[in-house]
Amino acid sequence: MRECERCLDVVESSYEPVFGGFVCNFCAEQLFSRRERITLVEFQATCAATFFKRHPDETNADRLEFFALCLAEECGEAIKPLRKYITGKDELDKASLREELGDILNVISSIAHLAGLKMEDVAMLNIKKREDRFGMTGLLDGARA
C-alpha cells in the first residue's frame, strides 16, 4: 500500500518508475491521456502494472511460460495483415498491424520486466549490436536529427 503523490489516495498498485514517484492507476491514466509520446520506461511500467494486477499470485516461472505462449500467439496475429498484403489480397491494414505490434511490445516488455531487464537497456544494446554488425556508428544520433 502506497500513497499516490498526485491525489494522495492510498493504493495497492502504482506506476512507481513512470513519473518519478508513486502514481495511482487513475492519475496515471489522466497523465497519459494528455501525452502523445511515452518512453520505454513508462511503457514497461504500464505493462507490468496491468499484468501483475490481473495475475498477482503466479510465480515468475508461470508468468514467463504464459508470456512465451503469448509471444508466439501475438506474432502469428501480426503476420495476418502482412500476409494479406504480401499476397496481394488486400491493402496493408496498418491499424491491425499497429495493434498487434503493440501487443508484441507489451509481451516483450513484460518478459524483460520478469527477467529484471529494462527495455531501454535492451533497446540500447540492440542499437550497439547493429552498429557493430553493419560497421556503422551513430545510429542513434542519426535518429535524433
For residue range 24-77, what is the model confidence (pLDDT) as tens digits?
A: 767 767 666 666 678 888 888 888 877 767 777 888 888 899 999 999 999 999
d(CA 16, CA 82): 37
Same domain, 3 and 34: yes
Q: How confident is the model at residue 42, as a pLDDT?
A: 83
Which of the two residues, 145 and 140, has the higher pLDDT score?
140
Same domain, 44 and 2: yes
Same domain, 43 and 82: no
Q: Is the dihedral of CA 117, 21, 50, 102 positive or negative?
A: negative
Percent of the chain past pLDDT 90, that is, above it, reads: 41
Same domain, 110 and 125: no
Same domain, 124 and 100: no
Which of the two residues, 19 and 113, has the higher pLDDT score?
113
The boundaries of the domain holding residue 125 are 118-145
Out of 9, 33, 50, pick the residue that ends a domain: 50
Same domain, 101 and 134: no
Same domain, 68 and 108: yes
d(CA 40, CA 121): 10
Domains identified in the chain, total number:
3
DSSP for residue 90 = S
- C-alpha to C-alpha distances, 111 to 55, 61, 131, 132, nearest whole angstrom: 14, 11, 25, 25
Average pLDDT over the chain, rounded to whole? 82
Same domain, 107 and 133: no
pLDDT surpasses 60 at 1: yes
Same domain, 64 and 42: no
